[in-house]
Structure 1
Amino acid sequence: MKIRNKLLVSHGALAVCVAVICAFMLVALETTDRNRRRMADSYESLRQLNELNSDSNRMAEQISELLSIGLSNRREVTEVSRTLLARLEGVRDQLRDDIATAASDAARQRDAEMLEWIEVILDRTVRLADIGTRMADLVADGRIEEARRIYVVQVEDGLDDEISDLLRSATAADEARVLDAIDRWDRQTELLRALAISTVVLGTGLAVGAALVMDRLVSRPIEALARAVDDLGQGRVTRPRPAPGGDELGRLATRFDQMARAIARQQGDLRTARDSLMVQVAERTASLSQRTSQLEAANARLTRLNDTRTQFFADVSHELRTPLTAIRGQAEVALRQPQATVADLRQTLSQITRRSGQMGRLVDDLLFLARSEAGAIAFAFRDTMMQEVLAEVMMDAALLTRQRDVTISVTQPSGPIVLRADPDRLRQAIVIVLDNAISHAPDGTAVTLDLDEAGGRIRLAVSDRGPGFTEDEAARVFERFYRGHSRGARGGAGLGLPIARWLLEQHGGAIAIARTEPGARVEITLPPGGAQGGAAWTS
């Protein structure tokens, strides 16, 4: 586009802006006129409501005068009621016409609300006129006291107040509409004032803008082209280049810009290829590093699993071989003594029975572990009283203390403690803990069981006066096949306490070493109501 055409376009744009402003002003004037008409209608409606209120009051006064001056004003009552009813019907018909020709939904809604008020007022006025006629008839018959009662009950304390309230409500609504129309008029005036100021500012701005455009059309394109030539000569093609145009200077700038863009595109392609190569190298390096970390972690897990498996088989082999070796040795000794007495054979058989019992308990524990890992341990949860479980535990404890000089003391609340549990599995867990305490308690001491419920948890503490646990033992005592050294009264397979912990966890509970030494205190916590478990064993 030539420079002359650009000037025409700029002036045309200025004319369009002025036309748009004029159109806005016409719309504002039309809106102002509409607000003026709405306000005039509201004033007229308010005037009619005031006249209705005046007629209503006059009608009530005429009815009340029936009681004071008699039938001489009966004609005035009739005329006032007819005038009021005619005025109400006229207002009602006018509102119906206004609703039918309303220009907006808001105006239609306001007229509909006013129509509802007028219809209610019309109904109450008809009733008031009927009461006035009835009172006139009563006065004519000489029944003035009955007429007075009707006036007090139905007119003075009833319809008169109700009609006045309705008229006041309608008047308040009309006054609100008048105020709203005045507010709209004020806002419209402010808008017109703002448009006038905007017109002046916009006209001035467009004039200044036209002058600036003229400056940019000639001098600035030449300066921009000169700067671009200097930048290109110095090897910089990233600085702003002159915008292409349709005139002579624009065509020159366009061709120069095409050349500069081609150079910049080549340099950009080279930078993109370099950046892409760097990104690919970084991604592959990160991928290799991640895979290396994953392989190292997997290798470490496999190593731990292999060590655990090896240790497991070694522990099982040792635990089974020790009693088997003892049984075999005792049997061979008995066979090599043909002159052995019955007492010797009984002692040998007793030792073989004890060793075989140890093997049986180990096999039972291993079988329990295998079934728990397979998720095959079934739980029969039901409402269980903790005191009943402890009673069964005490029956088992009688067998555990038969060979020991150890007593068992139980402290429990008198009120029942109920939880949701499998009583057999819960008893099994408690017996394991109690058996461990009895085994390490010195002769002549007592093992105590303290049961209570506090803080929303059921707590059972098992305490003994044995050697207790070291800090390291307390941290590892619930690991499978772990056997401490400080509580060395009786060797075991190291499976009892881990099994007890698993059983308690299936009940939503926990087990912990509360005191290490002197003596040990093992605390079992369970939730009231319990939890239905049955998950597989986790070590």
Structure 2
Amino acid sequence: MFRRRLTLVLSLFASIVVFAALLAAASLAVSERQVLRGRVASDIATGFIQLSAQKQRLRTWVAQVQLGVKVDDGARAELQSAMQGTLQRLKVLTVQAMELDSGSFAVDEYRRRSAALATLEESIAELGRTAAKAQAQVTGRGLLLGQDSLLLARVFDMADDGEMRMLIAENIAREGAAVQRERAAADTTLAWVRWLWLGAAAVLAGATLIAAVYFGRALRYPLLQLNEGAQALQSGKLSHRIPLVGHDEFASVAQSVNALAAELEQHRERESVQRQRLEDLVAARTAELADALASLRKVDSQRRRLFADISHELRTPTTVIRGEAEITLRGIDKPASEYREALGRIVSTARQLGAVIDDLLAMARSDMDGLSLVREAVDMDELAADALAQVSATATRLGLRLGPPPASTGQHIVSGDSLRLRQLLGVLLDNATRYSRPGGQVTLMVESEADSAGHTSAVQVVVSDDGIGIPPDELGRVFERRFRGTAARQHSPDGSGLGLSIARALADAHGGQLQLHSTKAGTRAVLRLPLASQALIGGSLV
């Protein structure tokens, strides 16, 4: 319905525009015709005035001839030609005026103008012949005689006083009145056109205003409702419905939008359910993947630590074996007893190496803290002497002096795993020899530690060196895995930074403590182990 009304109004506007265009074309044609009529009337009046002026100049020329004044011979012909041209132009303008206005008055005007032009044409021809005769007489005789002069003056006088002069004056007066008449007609036409256009503009403006008010009222409410509905859908309010009823186009659009909103709302609900289900599945899978990733990271960390520990733990025994062999083979032949002692140490170290390899394989399945210890009574004096003997080859090769082995007192018995404790002392002595300067000294002492009551409660093993020392800012990090200080890396680039970490783990596994004290003059490693019980001491000692 609204479309039909809109089509009707637009058709009406189109008709008004077409009518205005036709009216404009007609007004333009009338105005143009009226302007042309006024211009032609003005040109005719101007032509008669020019003709009168040209006749007067020809009379002046003849007067000069009568007086014997020397004149230009071509001036007469030029004046006669100008008068003929003016006369021909007046004939053309007369025909054009007749074509522009074909009424009875125009026909009478055309006849009068034609008769006047015919008379003027004869008079102009007679003036031309008389002027030519006068010029010929002057040229032949040198002076115009009295009889001829009187004849020539009579011709001009008769023309001036008679028909030609009166005819030109009448036509000038008549054409001037025609010009005024055409101007008045042009003014009347322009006024008519102006009022016509003002009326048409008023009608068009009124119709436009009425249509604008009508359609503004008719469109404002439905467009407002449609806009609110679109904004609600854009903001996600799919439950909003456009309250437009009826049978027009806006109601149809509102129904379509409401149906679309209902469909979108249903899709959103289904999507929300599916999204929640998918989120639950993703959360479950993410948790599973997180657990798997944590397990993989733990396994990878253990693998990396295993490789690092393998690299570190295998280096020390193999270094001892190589050192024993090099010292034994160096120099002159030695007694068989020395060879047997060296081979015995190599066998002992190889046995230790095998145990280390077994432990490292076990570390592949568990962390070091989880390693089981085979506890027994261990004499730390003998264990320290063996550790010094194993490192002696390395110390000799590095140009170091080892302190004397501790005396066997039988009082420094601890409960522990001899292989682990041997490994622990080996790490401490290896660090002491590795980071000592050539010519330096490494000592190992085993002491008893008494409690507040004066009873021996612990065994203290001290490994001292006068090497490069550890800076204070790095001393708190030396037990971290893979940590090596700047001076340590510069002094011995091949270290891995795992020895002290493993040593502390072994000390903790035995219920002991491991501490480092360092200055620029050297480093002291203090291992404190609890004393074994009397029941265990009564067993076999290693």
TM-score with structure 2 length normalisation?
0.33
Task: Please tell me whether Structure 1 or Structure 2 has the larger radius of gyration of its CA atoms.
Answer: 2
